[in-house]
Chain A
Amino acid sequence: MKKVIPEHMNPNVESEIVERGGQKYLQTNEAMFTFYKRTKGEFSKYFLGLRDEKKIYGMHCPKCNSTRVPPFELMCPDCDFAEMKEVEVGDTGVMNTTPPVTYFAHSLFQSWVPFGRGRVVLKGVETALPIHVFTTKGVLTPFVFKKGTPVKVVFRNERIGKPTDIFAVPQSELSPAQIAKSPLMESDLDFSAPDEPKLAAGTAAHKASFAEALKMLTALAAGVEKSPRAQHNLAGWKRSVAVKTAGGNLSMLIDDGKLAASEGLPKGLTPDFVMVCEDPKLLVEWMTFKEALTNAIISGRLWISVNKEFTTIFKLDRLPRSTHRDAK
Chain B
Amino acid sequence: MKKVGIVGAGITPCKSRWVERTYYGLSQMAVKECMKDAAMSIKDVDAVVFGIYNDIFEMSAIPEHPLQGIIGLTNKPGMRVTNGGATGAYAMLAAYTWVASGLYDKVLVLGVEKATDCFDFESMTETPEVIKTIGWSGDTFFERELGWTASDSYAEVVLGYMDSYPNDLKPAVSAKIAEILCAQAKHNEFAQRRDETVTAEMAFNSRYVVYPFKLLEMCVYTEGAGAVLFASEETTRAICKNSGKAPIWISGVGASNEHSVAGPDYRRHKDMGRIWSDHISSHKAYEMAGVKDPVKDIQVVELHDAFVKQLQITMGEMGFVPVGQTDALVEEGIMTPGGKVLVNPSGGLTFGGHFVGGSNIFSTWSARREMLSRGFKRGLVHGTGSTVSQYGVAMVFEQD
Q: A residues near B, CB below 8 A?
A: 8-11, 18, 20-21, 23, 25, 27, 29-30, 32, 40, 43, 68, 70, 72, 78, 96-109, 112, 115, 117, 119, 126-128, 130-132, 142, 146-147, 162-164, 292, 294-295, 298-299
Contacts and interface: CB of A to CB of B under 8 A. Distances in A.
Interface stretch (B92-100, B246-254, B265-273, B341-349): B265-273
A21 B141 CA distance: 45
Interface of B: 19-20, 56, 59, 117, 120-123, 128-129, 131-132, 135, 139, 141-143, 145-149, 152, 155-156, 159-160, 162-163, 207-212, 261-264, 268-269, 272-273
B262 A72 contact: no
A215 to B, nearest CB: 25
Contact of A106 (B131, B211, B212, B268): B131
Contacts of B208: 103, 295, 298-299
B146 A21 contact: no
Contact of B211 (A23, A131, A298): A298
A106 B132 contact: yes
Which of B121, B123, B212, B261 has the most chain A CB within a 10 Å cutoff?
B261
A70 B209 CA distance: 28
Contacts of B268: 78, 126
Contact of A30 (B59, B149, B163): B59
B147 A109 contact: yes
Contact of B261 (A9, A40, A72): A72
B59 A27 contact: no
Given A30-B59, A78-B268, A127-B269, A117 B152 contact: yes
Contacts of B209: 104
Given A105-B147, A106-B129, A130-B139, 13 more contacts: A9-B121, A11-B121, A70-B141, A70-B261, A78-B268, A96-B262, A97-B262, A102-B147, A127-B262, A130-B143, A130-B146, A147-B160, A292-B207
A11 B208 CA distance: 31
B44 to A, nearest CB: 34
A147 B164 CA distance: 9
Contact of B269 (A115, A126, A142): A126
A241 to B, nearest CB: 21
B29 to A, nearest CB: 15
Contacts of B128: 106-107
Contacts of A295: 207-208
B152 A100 contact: yes
Given A117-B146, A295-B207, A98 B162 contact: yes
Contact of B156 (A32, A97, A109, A127): A97
Contact of B20 (A20, A70, A107, A108): A20
10 contacts: A23-B20, A32-B59, A40-B141, A96-B262, A97-B163, A97-B273, A104-B209, A106-B135, A130-B139, A142-B212
Contacts of A128: 261-263, 272
B211 A97 contact: no
Contacts of B132: 106-108
B148 A162 contact: no
A44 to B, nearest CB: 11
B120 A25 contact: no
Contacts of B211: 100-101, 142, 298
B145 A162 contact: yes
Given A97-B163, A128-B261, A294-B207, A20 B122 contact: no
A109 B117 CA distance: 21
A207 B155 CA distance: 38
B152 to A, nearest CB: 4
